[in-house]
Amino acid sequence: MSEQEIEREIQERVQFKLNELLTGLKNRVAFKYGQAFDMTLKSQYIWQAFEEVNEMFKKEAILPVPYDDMGRRKKWEAKEKAVENIMKTLDFKGQHEYENKIKIIVSEIEKAQNY
């Protein structure tokens, strides 16, 4: 499967789950307040609030994720932050020792992230 196919599959699954949640919410609102269209002021407000939530869900369901490699980027950022924090606490004598230690630290963090 290509990365694009995987992304499409993920989007379809998320959209399915959001639709199921929305259907359940709609059924619960209708059941909980009897006939939601009985035109009491309370039920009108409740139904109006549900319609607003419904539109929000629909909008979120069709929007793609901001970028395809979110997980990879977060792992990379976490690794960079960990290396930076470790290097701040350690004191190295020379440039060569510093570069060797960085390579070891980066390697170990990457191993831990890919357990």
Structure tokens at 20: 């199921």
Structure tokens at 66: 């901001």
| pTM of the predicted model over 0.85 | no
Distance separating alpha carbons of residues 107 and 99, to the nearest angstrom:
12
Structure tokens at 14: 């998320």
Handedness of CA 40, 43, 49, 54 (dihedral sign): negative
Question: For 76-112, how does the pLDDT look when each residue is reduced to its tens digit (9 = 90+)?
Answer: 888 888 888 887 777 666 667 777 888 888 888 888 8
Domain ranges of the chain: 3-62, 70-113
For residue 80, the Cα-to-chain-centroid distance in whole angstroms is: 21
Question: For 19-28, how does the pLDDT look when each residue is reduced to its tens digit (9 = 90+)?
Answer: 888 888 878 7
